[in-house]
Structure 1
Amino acid sequence: MRLRRDFTFDAAHNLVAYHGKCERLHGHTYRLGVTLEGTPDEEGMVLDFVELKRIVREQVLDQVDHAYLNDLVPQPTAENLARWAFQRLDAPLHRPHCRLTSVEVFETADSSVTFYREDLS
């Protein structure tokens, strides 16, 4: 079974290793999708949505919301942000009956990147 919750945050960045308008400082309203895979526990849940929200807030949102992302990720592309978020969430979301499978970062309403567990290297 897969469980997913989406979150939003506002942040600014510039892509220093890019040549084009995104090398200038600008901001986005990002959407972050966090997906777990597992089997329901004795309470019938893969993971309580309240607990998932708390962990994502503590591990990711508190750092990125209204932040300058270059202070956290040297080249904060959607790809690098998805990897960064996955790495921060992987251990705190690991349970005997479920684990993090992917993190999706939408930089705009119609452009996203998904980082899967298989992408860890």
Structure 2
Amino acid sequence: MSKIRITKQFTFETGHALYGYDGKCKNVHGHSYKLSVTVIGIPITDNNHVKYGMVIDFGDLKKIVKEEIVDVFDHATVFNQNTPHIELAKELQKREHHVILVDYQPTSENMVIDFAKKIKNRLPDSIKLHSLKLQETESSFAEWYQSDN
């Protein structure tokens, strides 16, 4: 049977700052991110299976991505833990703000790599992550493809 790709899209709001950057993005700011998650697999052929004809139930994919990405990053501020932004992060945390400290510069490129690792770890063995597209603005996005990695 043919392999099929299916895609589910998600949205979330996240703030970040790029330490050491030479433009406006060195300042704390936010984006309305759009994440497209594409998986690939063979549709279930057992007509007695409750998920007959599906590669993966869109609801199951939604659960994985919401738990690993959307619910974690939505309305959070992301900082690289290895920069002086750590002081700002600590102050925000004291004021009960949702802060995520990562070990990378929180660019769309690095975030999409992080997201790919998290999603891949949760997928059933029969389903492979094909690609991710993380859109930061209407005209700017980063893409991750399994075939490139």
Q: Which residue of 1 aligns with 2:108?
A: 78
CA distance in 2, matches of 1:10, 1:82: 15
How many angstroms does 1:75 deviate by? 0.9
- Report what 1:108 is aligned to: 137
Q: Do the aligned partners of 1:94 and 1:100 also contact (CA within 8 Å) in 2?
A: no
Tell me the C-alpha RMSD between the 2 structures.
1.3
Tell me how far apart the structure 2 counterparts of residues 99 and 72 of structure 1 sit (CA, whole Å). Answer: 28
| Aligned counterpart in structure 2 of residue 32 of structure 1, from 32, 35, 40 | 35
TM-score by length of 2: 0.75
Aligned position for 1:93? 123
In the alignment, is residue 47 of structure 1 matched against residue 47 of structure 2?
Answer: no
Instruction: Give the unaligned 5+ runs of structure 1.
Output: none
Does 1:57 pair with 2:74?
Answer: no
Unaligned runs of 5+ in 2: 47-51, 80-99
The alignment's TM-score, normalised by the length of structure 1, stands at 0.92
Q: Which sits farther off after the overlay, 24-33 or 62-71? A: 62-71
CA deviation map 1:47-69 (0-9, x unaligned): 00010111101111111000012
Count matched residues: 119
Of the two, which has the highest radius of gyration? 2
* Identity fraction in percent: 40
Of the structure 1 ranges 110-119 and 39-48, higher mean CA displacement relative to structure 2 is found in: 110-119
Per the alignment, residue 6 of structure 1 pairs with 9
